Amino acid sequence: MEHIGVRETVQFMGLTFNWETLCMTWLAMAIVIIISCLAVKSLSIIPKGWQNFVEIIVVWLHGQLENMMGKRGKMFAPFIVSLFLFLLTCNLLGLIPTLASPTNDLNTTLGLALLVVCMVHFFGLYFKGGHYIAHFFQPFPPFVIINMIEEIAKPITLAFRLFGNILAGEILIIVLLHLLPIWMPIPSVLWLGFSIFISCVHAVIFTMLSMAYLGNAVKE
Amino acid sequence: MIELNATLIAQILNFLILVAILRALAYKPVAKMLQQRADKIQETIDKANSDKKAAEDTLAQYKSQLADAQKRAQEIVDKAEITARQEREALVAETKKEIDRMKQNAQLEIQNERDRAFDQMKAEIVSLSLAAAEKIVAKNLSSKENDKLVSDFISGLDKNMFEDAN
């Protein structure tokens, strides 16, 4: 963003798209696909290199899925693994000069959050049917109001948490560069280091919360 | 800063395409490899356990065989000892019998020698007595009558006199 808050848009078939967000998303997808290709190029019993990295992530997420969702968790593994790798790459992309995170756009985070919440409700109804609807009225019928507020809050908080953190991080990078002279790079460097940590943490948080919400709906 | 437009739908579609690609490209091979590794480790552990059990069985078998062999060897040694002892005793008894026999033979021979010596002495005494008697007695007797006289005299002597001298 050359000017903070201004996004360049394109029109296509009467619809408006944020062009930078789309390009960065495609770039992030390409990076994730390339890493995966490198990982499965020569699979060996003793993993090394990219295979090791991807396997660490897959094994960790398998463990969490089994923890939170029991036996049905295995079917969500590709979705969750893709979500984690995609978010990690997106968040870290913005720290590279002249590039931006796709997740600094509310469209991206809200899209992902709505996707997750729709999946939660869909699979809740699919696996539990009437019980799923009934649990909104536990322990007393008036609780349905509180449960509804919670169900609406879930995608909103999920989206805005990630959006706010990543956008604020990017804005501060620009502000620090404008505020400080060239011979005082230390605060910028410190903020960049912290942003790397924050990017990883928020990828983990989004993924864990998605797993928790899915677990609520799917666990026996 | 916050404007929602068609990018929302585009991002959802982008992400779903990514999930499909990653599932086919990366997730399936990695999951298969993880399963393979877990199976291989389990197989190795099972094989190690069964090998250990087989080794323990073989060791127990060898130990029992060794104990058997030792017992049999001990039996053989005991039997040999008994046989040797019996043979030795037989040999000793045989030797003792031989010694007794030799002793008896020697005694018989001594007795014979003594009798011969006695007879010889008898004859010498007869001739000595005759010679002495000839000198004393004036009458000249014939040899045959002389022998008979002296022989009777000596026979009359107690044989015990000579035997006590032993």
pLDDT, tens digit, 9 for 90 and up, residues B102-160: 999 999 999 999 999 999 998 888 888 888 887 777 655 566 777 787 788 777 775 55
Interchain contact A52–B (C-beta under 8 A): no
Interchain contact B19–A (C-beta under 8 A): yes
CB contact under 8 A, B10 and A22: yes
Instruction: For residue B27, give how far its alpha carbon lies from the nearest alpha carbon of chain A (Å).
Output: 6
- Are A141 and A148 in contact, with CB atoms under 8 Å apart? no
Confidence check: pLDDT of A117 > 70: yes
Instruction: Considering only the beta carbons, identify the residue of B15, B25, B27 that sits closest to A77.
Output: B27
Instruction: For residue A128, give how far its alpha carbon lies from the nearest alpha carbon of chain B (Å).
Output: 25
What's the distance, CA A212 to chain centroid?
Answer: 14
CB contact under 8 A, B11 and A58: no
CA–CA distance, B82 with B132 (Å, rounded to integer)? 74
- 3-state DSSP: chain B helix, strand, coil percent, rounded to 5? 90, 0, 10
Q: Which of B15, B40, B43 to mutate to test the interface with A (most CBs of A within 10 A)?
A: B15
Q: What length does chain A have?
A: 220
Instruction: Considering only the beta carbons, identify the residue of A7, A25, A51 that sits closest to B11.
Output: A25
Q: At a CB cut-off of 8 Å and minimum separation 6, what does A72 contact?
A: A127, A218, A219, A220
Confidence category of residue A6, pLDDT binned at 50, 70, 90:
confident
Say which range, A85-99, A123-137, A197-211, has the weakest mean pLDDT. A123-137
Task: Extract the runs of DSSP E, i.e. beta strands, from chain A.
Answer: 9-12, 15-18
CB contact under 8 A, B3 and A7: yes
Q: What is the pLDDT of residue B71?
A: 95
Which residue in this structure is represented by tokens 């019980």? Answer: A131
Q: One-letter amino acid identity for A138?
A: Q
Q: One-letter amino acid identity for A123?
A: F
Interface of A with B in 69-108 (CB under 8 A): 77-79, 81-83, 85-86, 102, 105-108
Q: In B, which residues are within 8 Å of A73 by CB distance?
A: none
CB contact under 8 A, B7 and A5: no
What's the distance, CA A91 to chain centroid?
Answer: 8
Q: What is the pLDDT of residue B151?
A: 80
Q: What is the pLDDT of residue B138?
A: 60
- Are A195 and A100 in contact, with CB atoms under 8 Å apart? no
pLDDT, tens digit, 9 for 90 and up, residues A59-93: 999 999 998 988 888 889 999 999 999 999 999 99
Confidence category of residue A170, pLDDT binned at 50, 70, 90:
very high
Q: What is the pLDDT of residue A219?
A: 80
Instruction: Report the percent of chain B where pLDDT is more than 90.
Output: 61
What's the distance, CA B38 to chain centroid?
Answer: 62
- Are B20 and A79 in contact, with CB atoms under 8 Å apart? no
Token pair, residue B145, equals: 């009558």
3-class DSSP state of A16? strand
Name the burial class of residue A27, with classes exposed (0-12), middle (13-18) and buried (19+) by CB atoms within 10 angstroms of its CB. middle
CB contact under 8 A, B22 and A5: no
Closest residue in B to A40 (Cα) is B26
Instruction: For residue B39, give how far its alpha carbon lies from the nearest alpha carbon of chain A (Å).
Output: 11
